[in-house]
Amino acid sequence: MSKNKTNFCGFSLLISITFILLISKIKCILEIPIQTFNFHNSLKSETISIDKNNLLVGKIKIGSTNQEFNLILDTTSCLSWVPLEGSKDQYPIQNHYNPEQSTTSKKTDKAFQIDHSGYYCEGEYYEDELQFIDNKKFNFKFGVANETKFNPEEVDGILGLAYDFNEEKLSFINSLKISGITDSLSFSILLNDDKTINGIKGTMYIGKHEDFSKNETVSCPLKLDKSKKYWAYNLKSFGLYNSVNEINSNKTYQVIFDTASNVIVLPLKYFQDINKNLSLYECKYVTFGEFKNPIYKLACTNKEKLPNFKLKLNGQNFLMTKDYIFYEKENAYYSKIIFNGENGIIGTPFFSIFHTMFDKEKKMLRFYPKSPEYIERGDIEEKEEPEKDKIEPEEGGFKMVYLVYIFIPLVIIIIVILVVICAKIHRNKKGENLMNDLEQNDEENAILNN
């Protein structure tokens, strides 16, 4: 009897442990965010523009009272920030965030600090509603600075468009996807040629923009730079040309694509290769910056002989005409391309000529030139992988969440069956033991009678 009882207790314990494990698995399934993906067309932002300082700026609204801010669109920062009402600003800033005026504002318990490239700010994170895309509001975590050293005129802060390279999940693009407004970590910058008093206007699209078909675009695989923070690509050569003369420098350097830069910065060695031939275009150069780290800019006098520029990316030559690259000042023409350091930055002058998609899923940059003449096509060095067909679930089809509804009753039924089987086995064994005891008693009585 005691042995059977021990077996029954052990079996019951095994069933209990199995039940606990199954419940824990059910909990894990319930904690997985389950959603049905409906792939939409790209969403259109409010108007973006290049301001008088050649910075790419977007107007956003924060909070229940729609407080407005002019923010630099920055593909090298995943953190967005605005100044706090009453903040200590070394340079004047026009608009400040007042959390007390927003009923949707929520302060977090985490602080932030930025000290980079000549500007500084510090403060704390807040969560509030943000509006920028198609009049849609969504919850967004951003920095609110109580102290700033930030000098771009008529700009209030930064809108971080970089992809998250840490676990903070702070980027504007990631927040849009988490909120369900878009299904893609992709966005496009399109700038037109219509100049207004305030600069060049344009549009930002979130998601896979329909204008960027494979037949119309040139693609470059994105790579992380040496710091593992910024998306970059290898620039294979740089050249100057016009109808008469052409100069090329065939070297390879890494360049970062940065919408927050108002110039194109190329490595100093490119300048050293072209410097001796600048007289062909009646151009010289001016220098500024530190003595040990000078910055060179072209200065030309003859508008008719101004050179065009050529950048080679992924086997294709991207042609940037002089109308986009030079600006006139005091009877001279100065380039928006400068030369400094060992690496490069592709800034807003490039985005003015080539509508650009930042495609996170496929790790590609896609360029849509305003005119076919801006591309000299060659042999593509790195091809993108063919896109697999996406199977979209039908509205009334089977959904993953149904597995939870099926799984729980199924587990309960299995447990009940196991308990019934266990009880039946125990009852049968108990009956067999009782019969054995009766038979043994009969044998003992028979011996005694004899």
Over residues 266-292, the pLDDT tens digits come to 999 999 999 999 999 999 999 988 777
* Residue 33 CB-density burial (10 A; 0-12 exposed, 13-18 middle, 19+ buried): exposed
Query: Interhelix angle for 2-31 vs 401-449, to 10°?
Result: 180
User: Which tops the pLDDT comparison, 41 or 81?
Assistant: 81
Query: What pLDDT does residue 40 have?
Result: 41
Q: What does the pLDDT average to over 120-148?
A: 90
Task: Label the pairing between strands 186-196 and 106-116.
Answer: unpaired
Would you place residue 360 in the very low, low, confident or very high pLDDT band (cuts 50, 70, 90)? Answer: confident
Query: What pLDDT does residue 39 have?
Result: 32
Q: What does the pLDDT average to over 236-248?
A: 94
* CA distances from residue 387 to 79, 243, 390 in whole angstroms, order as listed: 31, 41, 9
Of 331, 325, 339, 247, residue with least CA distance to 287: 339
Asked whether the beta carbons of 58 and 159 are under 8 A apart, the reply is yes
State yes or no: pLDDT of 50 exceeds 70: yes
Each residue's pLDDT tens digit, 382-419: 877 665 544 443 444 444 444 555 666 666 777 777 77
Asked whether the beta carbons of 262 and 53 are under 8 A apart, the reply is yes
Query: What pLDDT does residue 201 have?
Result: 86
Distance CA 255, CA 232 (A): 5
**Which DSSP category does 169 fall into?**
-
Asked whether the beta carbons of 348 and 259 are under 8 A apart, the reply is yes
State yes or no: pLDDT of 326 exceeds 90: yes
Average per-residue pLDDT for the chain: 80
* CATH class as words, domain 46-192: mainly beta
State yes or no: pLDDT of 437 exceeds 90: no
**Domain parsing of the chain, residue ranges:** 1-18+28-35+404-429, 46-192, 211-376
* CATH class as words, domain 211-376: mainly beta
Prediction pTM value: 0.74
Q: 3-state DSSP call for residue 36?
A: coil
Would you place residue 146 in the very low, low, confident or very high pLDDT band (cuts 50, 70, 90)? Answer: very high
Asked whether the beta carbons of 292 and 310 are under 8 A apart, the reply is no
Query: What pLDDT does residue 312 have?
Result: 95
Query: What pLDDT does residue 192 have?
Result: 82
Of 282, 277, 283, residue with least CA distance to 297: 283
